[in-house]
Structure 1
Amino acid sequence: MLKKIVAVLLTSFTAAAFAAVPLGSQSVLVVEDATGKVLLEKNANTQVPIASLTKLMTAMVVLDAKLDMNEKIAIDRADVDMLKHSTSRVPVGAEISRGDVLQLALMSSDNRAAASLARTFPGGLAGFKLAVRQKIRTLGLTQTVIEEPTGLSPQNMSTATDLVKMAAAAGSYPEIRRITTDTKDIIDIKGRKVEYHNTNRLVGAKGWDVGLSKTGYTEEAGRCLIMRFKSAGKDATLVLLNAKANSARLMDAANIRRFVAGPNEKPKVLKASVKSKKKAVKQAKRTRRAM
């Protein structure tokens, strides 16, 4: 009887929470890091494509292999996206250190960079897939399937519940925390200094304390986001899957942040100058298919 009462109360709480927190993403899960307490939940066990959220798994597997981060990797034609024909600012033939390639794959969500990490993995792509399957089992991700390193394939699928676990695991890697919270970096590409930016504009934004971040986008997956953040002294992890627009994804994150902080939190609006907005639009067009 007590269990039934608790279940009813939890259901009532969830309904009340969603009434107070409008969310546009198809699947949502927000968890308090210290306790594992679920703060918000919406279709958390629905298995859907995860787009470039995949790259967190790619990074973990590469780091687990303890490969030489200073070793140069040559971007090959085999790394070019022939599935979605996404663009990349990393040219074929460029030789880049594995550490910088990892930076591009995580921070800028570059697909050629992610593909090259798998291609140069011990045992090649087959060895990479085997390592990914082992990692999925180790983390207890029972609803996760990852077939390739970029997230371009709609066969890369998971749930918000599994992705919270993946975020927790990724957060244990200092390199992943650092890279995914860099706002930008300058990489040497064929002797030319090229500036790359984080695909998540909340990283470095006023009022946001982000500890880990990864965006994702394909037509099948919609706009996705994994983010660990601090709000009013509370550490939390959010997973947003299949938002219909980037603006909806950002709005969901902002609403969740205010919910986690509590009633004393004052709304903060991201502001951008006309010039920066134009720049953001151009950058979005370049990276839209890479996220």
Structure 2
Amino acid sequence: MRLLASFFCAFFLLTASAAPEVQAAQNKRPAAVKKVNTTKTAKAPAKKAASAKKASKGKKNVAAARKTTKKVSSSASRKFASSKHYAKKKKTYARRHVRGPSYAQLMGLRGSSDPLALSTTAVLAYDMENDQILYEKNADTSLPIASITKLMTALVIVESGVDLDQKFAVTTEDFVKSSARSKLRKGMVLSRKQALHLALMSSDNRAAHFLARTFPGGKAKFISEMNAKAVLLAMDDSVFYDSIGLNNGNKCSALDLSHLIAAAAEHDVIRDLSTTPEASFSVGKRYVVSRTTNSFVANDNWDIELQKTGLTTAAGYCMVMQTNISGRPVAMIFLDAPNKAARNHDIQKLHDWLTNGKMLETASLN
């Protein structure tokens, strides 16, 4: 019995001494947890690699998507460029304006022969002092005269006795349909003399219309006065329908125009305004600067007393002048030249011929 009690007592003591060791073992459990965490940490690089791989794949997909989008966009751009709603910007180059046939050309007159082989259809050189024809080519044929008309406009204005200093405002009615540019704008206030200057020097169409519109009695009365003046000057093959020359019905022969030049040259104001190389004057709050359309005016080899140029498709390139050759006044008329260069070449050629021979010959006869 005592032996059994001793056994239980010893067992109890062993159990009590083993309790701290169990407790210590339990306190070491975090090491096991740490092991588990270590396992998870070991798996993290694999997860990171997988994430990096996925990110890389995502970048490739984005790049591919961008490439596809760019391709589609490029394709769409080409498709849009080929559509009728898109006009590709092209380089533009100045093109020479090709005019239709002139009135004289339709009549079969252009190309007519003459001693100097001039390309201008109708030509006349007239000695105004001796009342003598020095050179002529189709001079009695009535042809459109374009802005040579403005010479008759100037003559009617000056001889009518209207106040040249009287001022009027430019209106939209003066904006005649024309490819030629004008210095005049709506609302500008200018005098008749200023308008006359622009009409004769730079062949301003609005200025010529301004003169007829502001004439006492209006445009209809002014055109009537133009035709009446033509009758008084024995311009039998002439007729006028406007004050500008845009109406192709305005026609004269070169012989008729020699009478007009003689009458216009009697007025200092017409001679001075038509032969000004360049002028500037104030029109209201603005300054208008204008230049002559005749390159011979500034040429020192020429002594020009009066001039006027003209150009329309029907009339071709035209010019009339009164110039002094060998000390005598000569009217020179050129109607329907094929181009400006040909017209100027013919004018110089006839001038040289008169200077070197014909004028000396006629002077000796007189």
TM-score, structure 2 normalization: 0.65
Tell me which of 94, 107, 115 is aligned to 2:209: 115
Q: What SS is found at the alignment partner of 2:131? A: coil
Q: Following the alignment from structure 2 to structure 1, what is the Cα–Cα distance between the partners of residues 130 and 312?
A: 33
Match of 1:182 in 2: 276
Q: Deviation per CA, 1:131-162, whole angstroms, max 9, x where unpaired?
A: 11211111111000100000011010111010
1:1-291 correspondence runs (5 A): 18-19=114-115, 21-82=116-177, 84-263=178-357
Aligned-pair CA distance for 1:85: 4.4
Q: What SS is found at the alignment partner of 1:92? A: coil
Match of 2:40 in 1: none
Q: Following the alignment from structure 2 to structure 1, what is the Cα–Cα distance between the partners of residues 168 and 338?
A: 36
Aligned-pair CA distance for 1:22: 3.0
Q: Following the alignment from structure 1 to structure 2, what is the Cα–Cα distance between the partners of residues 86 and 196?
A: 13
Q: Following the alignment from structure 2 to structure 1, what is the Cα–Cα distance between the partners of residues 239 and 127?
A: 25
Q: Following the alignment from structure 1 to structure 2, what is the Cα–Cα distance between the partners of residues 52 and 133?
A: 16
Gaps of 5+ in 1: 1-16, 266-291
Q: Deviation per CA, 1:102-134, whole angstroms, max 9, x where unpaired?
A: 100111100000001000101001110221121
How many residues in Structure 1 have an aligned counterpart in Structure 2? 247
Q: Following the alignment from structure 1 to structure 2, what is the Cα–Cα distance between the partners of residues 64 and 264?
A: 35
Quote the sequence identity (%).
35
Q: Say if 1:44 and 1:161, in contact at 8 Å, map to a contact too.
A: yes
- Taking CA–CA contacts closer than 8 Å with sequence separation of 6 or more, which of the two structures ends up with the larger relative contact order? 1
Q: Say if 1:234 and 1:261, in contact at 8 Å, map to a contact too.
A: no
Aligned-pair CA distance for 1:18: 3.9
Greater shift in the superposed pair: 72-81 or 46-55 = 72-81
Q: Following the alignment from structure 1 to structure 2, what is the Cα–Cα distance between the partners of residues 264 and 160?
A: 20
Greater shift in the superposed pair: 169-178 or 255-264 = 255-264
Q: What SS is found at the alignment partner of 1:196? A: strand
Q: What SS is found at the alignment partner of 2:334? A: strand
Greater shift in the superposed pair: 67-76 or 136-145 = 67-76
Structure number having the greater helix percentage: 2
Aligned-pair CA distance for 1:264: 11
4+ long deviations beyond 4 Å = none
Q: What SS is found at the alignment partner of 2:306? A: strand
Q: Following the alignment from structure 2 to structure 1, what is the Cα–Cα distance between the partners of residues 152 and 194?
A: 17
Structure number having the greater strand percentage: 1
